[in-house]
């Protein structure tokens, strides 16, 4: 695992991340001001399914695993984000996230994001827009998946015992 990033490394990472790629250097600095570094050990539980969401995260280093009902759904590496759904809609966490390896995370508190949005921060608005676009891509990917038809319409009863 890398050592925690310097401010310059953090600025470069954010500027190269798709969520923050449209930010100006001043807007990146605004984001750095509210982000918190979180270093987690291998197998540490970061988010628990069903709990309130008070932050969203970017993976700076390491690998994290998303789990729902004890089943692994996805593996996330450097630059991936998670925890945004609860921050955006206020609902409880829809999945758990565990560090598969030691990891360094950038934690964005919901309260800080909401405060930036309330004062009209262009940086916060740009991040939320990019987050929404990423969520739309995820949804379209699910809809394009042939297995999605099973979620939209239940299979016809064939009379066969299961």
How many domains does the chain contain in total? 1
Record the tokens describing residue 81, joined without a space. Answer: 């984000």
Domain-located, residue 19: yes
Would you state the pLDDT for residue 96? 96
Domain-located, residue 150: no
Three-state DSSP class for residue 135: helix
Domain assignment of residue 105, given as a range? 7-138
- 31, with CB counted inside 10 A (0-12, 13-18, 19+), is buried
Domain-located, residue 160: no
The CATH number that applies at residue 11 is 2.60.120.10
Domain-located, residue 149: no
Record the tokens describing residue 34, joined without a space. Answer: 């509210």
Look at residue 154 and tell me whether its pLDDT is greater than 60.
Answer: no
Three-state DSSP class for residue 47: strand
Domain-located, residue 124: yes
pLDDT grade, residue 146 (50/70/90)? Answer: low
**Where is 66: in which H helix or E strand?**
strand 64-68
User: What's the start-to-end Cα distance of the chain, in Å?
Assistant: 47
| pTM of the full structure | 0.83
**Cβ distance 78 to 60 under 8 Å?**
yes
């Amino acid at each position: 695992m890398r050592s925690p990033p310097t401010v310059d490394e953090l600025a470069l990472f954010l500027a190269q991340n798709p969520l923050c790629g449209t930010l100006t250097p001043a807007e990146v600095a605004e984001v750095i001001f509210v982000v918190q570094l979180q270093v987690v050990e291998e197998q540490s539980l970061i988010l628990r399914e069903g709990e309130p969401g008070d932050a969203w995260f970017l993976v700076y280093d390491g690998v994290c695993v998303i789990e729902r009902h004890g089943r692994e759904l996805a593996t996330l590496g450097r630059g991936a984000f998670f925890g945004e759904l609860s921050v955006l809609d206020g609902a409880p966490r829809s999945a758990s996230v565990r560090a598969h390896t030691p990891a360094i995370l950038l934690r964005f508190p919901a309260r800080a994001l909401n405060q930036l949005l309330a004062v009209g921060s262009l940086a916060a608005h740009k991040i939320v827009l990019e987050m929404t676009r990423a969520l739309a891509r995820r949804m379209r990917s699910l809809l394009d998946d042939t297995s999605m038809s099973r979620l939209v319409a239940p299979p016809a009863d064939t009379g066969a015992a299961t």
